[in-house]
Amino acid sequence: MYSTLTSLQRKRYLFVCINRRAEENPKGCCAAKDSEEVYRVLKGEVAARGLAKLEARVCTSSCLDQCATGVTVLVEPDHFFYGRVTVADVSEIVDGLVKGQPVKRLVLTADQHDA
């Protein structure tokens, strides 16, 4: 039997793809679009606003299979992707965490997902 650790879990987890592919790969990759900087700034902003202990945890991820729309951020347990995220979007994303509302302009719709 598995125990639930709800008292230790955050309400949301944000997984930032930092996958790196060879430059000649036609799929491209999030790392080439500054995903490591997006991760660093997002993690710092979540901590600076006091959300890191209970509200949200920012983690790195390998490929999330949304290469065409990277930098990609997967938000769980809400089950949606942010796409084309830049450092300039971070403050708005964290505002959305505080309000409990996704940033609609960044949410990938079903027709935008990679096949």
pLDDT digits (tens, 9 = 90+) for 95-110: 999 999 999 999 998 8
Residue 35 maps to which CATH number? 3.40.30.10
Residue 3 maps to a domain: no
Q: How far apart are CA 40 and CA 46, in angstroms?
A: 10
Query: Which pLDDT score is estimated for 5?
Result: 54
Residue-number span of the structural domain to which 75 is assigned: 12-112
Residue 1 maps to a domain: no
Q: How far apart are CA 56 and CA 100, in angstroms?
A: 11
Query: Which pLDDT score is estimated for 8?
Result: 61
Per-residue pLDDT band for 113 (boundaries 50, 70, 90) equals: low
pLDDT tens digit string along 78-95?
999 999 999 999 999 999
Q: How far apart are CA 25 and CA 49, in angstroms?
A: 38
Residue 5 maps to a domain: no
Query: Which pLDDT score is estimated for 26?
Result: 83
| Whether the Cβ atoms of residue 18 and residue 31 lie closer than 8 Å to each other | yes
What's the total number of domains in the chain? 1
Nearest alpha carbon to residue 78 among 15, 18, 36:
15
Query: Which pLDDT score is estimated for 23?
Result: 86
Q: How far apart are CA 30 and CA 25, in angstroms?
A: 12
Query: Which pLDDT score is estimated for 7?
Result: 52
